Amino acid sequence: MRQGWIAVSLWFLVAVSVVGLATTRADEGMWLFNALPTGLLKERHGFEPSQEWADELRLASVRFNNGGSASFISPTGLVLTNHHVGADTLGKLSTAERDLFSEGFLARTPAEELKAPDLELNQLISIQDVTQEVKSAVADGMSPEDALDARRGRIAEIESREKEKTGLRCDVVALYGGNLYHLYRYRRFTDVRLVWAPERAIAFFGGDADNFEYPRYDLDACIFRVWEDGKPAELEHYLRVATQGTKAGELVFVSGNPGRTQRLLSVDALREIRDRQLPAQLDLIRRREVLLQQFSLEGPEAARRARNSLFGTQNGRKARLGALAALQSPGVLQSKVVDESQLTAALGRDPALLPLLSAWDAARANAKARSALQGTGLPISSRLFGIAEQIVQMAEEDTKPSGERLPEFADAGRESLLLSLYSQAPVYPDLETALLADSLGQMLERRGADDPLAARVLAGRSPADRAAELIAGTGLADVETRKKLVAGGQAAVAASADPLIRLAALVDPEMRRVRKLGDELAERDRQAADMMMQARFAVRGTSEYPDATFTLRLAFGTVAGYREQGKEVAPYTTIEAAFAHEESHRTADGPQQDFALPASWHAARERLDLATPMNFVCTADIIGGNSGSPVVNRAGELVGLIFDGNIQSLSASYVYADEQSRAVSVDVRAIIEALDKVYNATELLAELP
């Protein structure tokens, strides 16, 4: 049945993509699988992907619904992704007694595999253009608010109908800022089990210091298995390992789910991001980072509990700092200014296109409004508060028809929502209290400590005391309690004395008010973006790939080093260099934090082929969300595993540049070598085709 939905047409790909040469640079592009850059590939690299090649790669590609990419690597359901993509699950499966991060993990038999509490993996089965159906919901002259509601309703309708028809997860995705709408149908896997993870010491060797840097020496990999009906899933589509790896200069492909880019934004919007939005976000991120560090210092168990959040925070800080540096660099914005002025000049010359110019005025106003909207609202955050808020909102939303609800509460997404809401993943009261206390303090700073709503939230306590009281008093750590409240709907919520439910109910009107402002602004942005895309299509043709939307895309490039500060950076590192890197960070008290290789690697050193390539870089165009993406060769065989970009690649949110920007991968040869010599994973290796 699934096969019927493979609607991607290679013919269609060719038709739209040959125009691409003029405006894309070098190996730029996060291409839609239903609009692959075949002309570009043929012209630049002499390669013509067949329909079958593209279908196989798409169906072997996996999305980790919590924010990453992966691939199937065996007919027996094995899934390869990054250790840092699996980290959330590793954390949830760890306890004070058994820390899977520090120790690593290997299941010798399927029975030993550990079931993830709330993972959902998606396999993209088909894509269908539904632009007309979505757009026809919006009548001319509708206000932004009404247009938003109408479009939301139509999208919920399509998603529900298609889910009903196919049993697949169905998401309508807005592309080009809402110029096109495509329906993505996914097979869902929710029984996902951990098979192998190396120690964090090698997976994240070099820690925050080396993150987004190159050269790099990390085995940022782990392996899960999808199960169905209580046994390992049987898969038709999976990647084979290219044991010979790659050579410098070789053409490679990346199939993954880049999360978000903003390459089509106007220059004015980028200026607002540069001068106001990113600096404010960075302040918040650094605040969270320092808080989590402080919490971690309370002891080893505290450090374990906070580790994942801390990693995410540091990663986010470094990514945004890089993006800000890119926007502050002369050149980056200048290239946008040139591009935009050429485009708007062309519009000015054509009376039929002239009205589209107003989109730039709207975009400027929207960007300023977005800056102003930052730092308003009630920044109350903790996992348990989030659960309370979801329960309170769902109770109200579920009284409405699916199409009129806030989109996350629509019928089509209910299974995925409940998988997360009813997760048995542990919740740590000490960490919850620390996060909630800080967010309450932040609320006071933002609104002023004399704000009436803030005063009601605090109920006469200090932020720290109030947070302690709320977390100690709530029963929401218990999943059965959540289920009962959801089942009881509005009446149960109204009757609940749970302090977090009461708090969520208290702040819900304000939360909704601020959200509405944001949603309306997003709608105005979408309208402006739509007009800008009309302008681009009119002036330049449909040569451009859409901004990233955390859906499957194909990128390509070559394995290539680069020059930095006058020196040549080689494309490959080796296992031997990892040992040398540890040495260079050795102090009298041992290696610096995060620069100690695990004991297992030291023990295996004599057995290892030290010349084995460890990591490599290529010019493919990636961004956050691509983590865990398979890198394949012309034959569609697995050669690497994307896990990072170098520091120069952090401009990628706004602009692609291939001089120094590089995607960083684990070399598949290092994975095989380590599984064999360090982890002695005989059974696992035997499963690989």
In the complex, which residues of this chain contact a copy of itself (CB under 8 A)?
102, 207-209, 271, 274-275, 279, 282-283, 286-287, 289-290, 294, 297-300, 303, 317, 324-325, 327-330, 441, 444-445, 448-450, 460-464, 584-590, 592-594, 596
Considering the complex, state which of residue 207 and residue 407 has its C-beta at the smaller distance from a copy of itself: 207
Strands 121-129 and 169-175: unpaired
Q: What is the DSSP letter of 199?
A: -
Q: At what angle do helices 499-540 and 479-495 cross, to 10 degrees?
A: 100
CB of 296 or CB of 633, closer to a copy of itself: 296
Q: Which is nearer to a copy of itself, 35 or 324 (CB)?
A: 324
User: Measured from the CB of residue 529, what is the shortest distance to a copy of itself in angstroms?
Assistant: 23
| Residue nearer to a copy of itself on the CB measure, 20 or 91 | 91
Residue 629: closest CA among 85, 53, 74: 85
Nearer to a copy of itself among residue 3 and residue 334 (C-beta): 334
Tell me the CA end-to-end span of the chain in Å, nearest whole number.
25
Q: Which is nearer to a copy of itself, 109 or 567 (CB)?
A: 567
The least CB distance from residue 296 to a copy of itself, in Å, is: 8
Using the minimum distance from each CB to a copy of itself, give the nearer residue, 92 or 271: 271
Quick one: 337 or 354, whose CB is closer to a copy of itself? 337
* Angular region, 474: left φ>0, alpha ψ -120 to 50, beta rest: beta
- What distance in Å separates the CA atoms of residue 214 and residue 616, rounded to the nearest whole number? 9
Compute the least distance from the CB of residue 447 to a copy of itself, in Å. 8
Chain Cα centroid distance, residue 52: 27
Return left, alpha or beta for 345; rule: phi > 0 is left, psi -120 to 50 is alpha, else beta: alpha
Residues 6 or more apart whose CB falls under 8 angstroms from that of 490 comprise 395, 396, 399
In angstroms, give the least distance from the CB of 81 to a copy of itself. 26
For 366, other C-beta atoms within 10 Å of its C-beta total 23
CA distance 246 to 663: 15
Shortest Å, Cβ 685 to a copy of itself: 28
Q: Are 261 and 547 in contact (CB under 8 A)?
A: yes
Of 102 and 374, the one with the shorter C-beta distance to a copy of itself is 102
Nearest by Cα to 176 from 430, 569, 492, 549 = 549
* Closer Cβ to a copy of itself, 289 or 658, answer by number: 289
Helices 83-93 and 300-328, axial angle in degrees (round to 10): 150
- For the CB of residue 201, give the shortest distance to a copy of itself in the complex, in Å: 9
> What's the token pair of residue 628?
């865990």
The 3-state DSSP class for residue 661 equals coil
What is the rounded distance in angstroms from the CA atom of residue 336 to the CA atom of residue 523?
24
Q: How far is the CB of 454 from a copy of itself (least distance, A)?
A: 10
Q: Which is nearer to a copy of itself, 279 or 473 (CB)?
A: 279
In the complex, what is the shortest distance from the CB of residue 91 to a copy of itself, in angstroms, rounded to a whole number?
Answer: 16
Edge-to-edge strand list for the sheet holding 663-667: 31-32, 553-558, 251-256, 630-632, 638-645, 663-667, 613-618, 572-574
Q: Which residues pair with 342 in a beta bridge?
A: none
Residue type for position 380: I
Quote the CA–CA distance of 592 and 417 in Å, as a whole number: 41
Residue 640 C-beta: closest distance to a copy of itself, Å: 26
CB of 578 to a copy of itself, least distance (A): 16
Least CB distance to a copy of itself at residue 220 (A)? 18
